[in-house]
A and B are shown apart, each in its own frame.
Chain A
């Protein structure tokens, strides 16, 4: 599980598949968040860091 200390000291990417939906919720190691319904697109967004990533904000 991701913890604040882990996120600070290591590059940890996290994607939660939201229960009861088809939606993936991604959190970059920088804190930026995103939602998508396609894991390929989610990883593309995640790995484009820092492009399009706003720490603490949600990108759609």
Chain B
């Protein structure tokens, strides 16, 4: 049996980066629902519709756009931006049931968010922010990797950074990451898990040594903020050992990096891993930009390979296999529990949710 974590419906998910959605049709399956994305011709608004023609289920993402309408590539059924079918071949009457579902979409911080669940419950005000992704004060490199693994495995991976020491040694991991105790905080109502690891005197991994130019040991802070189910922010601060923020809270001598992930379940046992690295230093240095992109892509692929392997391995385990959790897992366990609650809430009938 494949290892899967149930999906949490009635939630916003990152479906794409803004630059991926344009006048070409983009097909992407989110929480098991095949969707097609494009931009409306008149105002450029991002549109998400069900990616199956009502006629014979042909994928609309493999069809073509005619102005603001999708023309099915099989028999020409034509849909407007609301999903209503406005043309069928050979007859004047369009059946009343000829419509594909339309999904609430919000574009924010260079991310295209889609609501999976009851559209009546979609509230754009609940979308967590990642303003640095679209801010002139930061320079961002980004990418997306599909992983053939349960999204819960990616959540586990990101909530416990002690794996950096072993899986990413020589890149972002140093001995101090696994050795330093963490603090875990759960904001139950907001659905946020925070995990902090502050290293006072640590080796500087190549990722930061080459991008900041710091030679010698560092003070390294990792402050995770996981907005379940989709958005993961890692606030990273690097500085030479002993260099701390000023008493007034400013931090002119610190190097700040915002590591952003969007964890978007696709079908069961598959997940989209959106990753981004934003920095507030060496902003005009193209060499640093290229280095951080390529280096982080390598790190992400180390995770992809490990999680693909883990998913295959778990698929061969007998039901009810045992795990062993230790202190490093305190944050990951909190995230699992929050996700379980969101899954339960998303499965309730509408009248119980509100």
Find out whether the CB atom of B337 lies under 8 angstroms from the CB atom of A43.
yes
| A29 on interface, CB distance cutoff 8 Å | yes
Find out whether the CB atom of B183 lies under 8 angstroms from the CB atom of A12.
no
| CB-CB nearest in chain A for B181 | A17
| CB-CB nearest in chain A for B327 | A17
* B-chain residues with CB within 8 Å of residue A47 when the two chains form the complex: 337
* A-chain residues with CB within 8 Å of residue B86 when the two chains form the complex: none
Distance, CA A54 to CA B185, complexed state (A): 20
Find out whether the CB atom of A40 lies under 8 angstroms from the CB atom of B333.
yes
| B80 on interface, CB distance cutoff 8 Å | no
**A interface residue count range (under 10 / 10 to 19 / 20 to 34 / 35 or more):** 20 to 34
Instruction: Give the shortest distance, in Å, between B353 (CB) and chain A (any CB).
Output: 19
Distance, CA A11 to CA B330, complexed state (A): 17
Q: What secondary structure prevails in chain A residues at the interface with B?
A: mixed
* A-chain residues with CB within 8 Å of residue B190 when the two chains form the complex: 10
* B-chain residues with CB within 8 Å of residue A16 when the two chains form the complex: 181, 183-184
**B interface residue count range (under 10 / 10 to 19 / 20 to 34 / 35 or more):** 10 to 19
* A26-45 vs B, Cβ < 8 Å mask (1 yes, 0 no): 00010000000111101100
Residue from A2, A17, A37, A42 within 8 A of B185 (CB atoms): A2
| B203 on interface, CB distance cutoff 8 Å | no
Residue from A15, A37, A38, A42 within 8 A of B183 (CB atoms): A15
Residue from B181, B185, B189, B330 within 8 A of A18 (CB atoms): B181
| B326 on interface, CB distance cutoff 8 Å | yes
* A-chain residues with CB within 8 Å of residue B325 when the two chains form the complex: 38-40
| CB-CB nearest in chain A for B337 | A43
Find out whether the CB atom of B327 lies under 8 angstroms from the CB atom of A13.
no
Instruction: Give the shortest distance, in Å, between A17 (CB) and chain B (any CB).
Output: 4
Q: A17-B181, A17-B182, A47-B337 are in contact. Are A39 and B187 (CB under 8 A)?
A: no
B-side residues, CB < 8 A to A, are 181-190, 325-327, 329-330, 333-334, 337
- Top 10 closest A-B pairs, CB basis? A17-B181, A11-B188, A39-B330, A13-B186, A15-B184, A14-B185, A16-B183, A17-B327, A19-B181, A15-B330
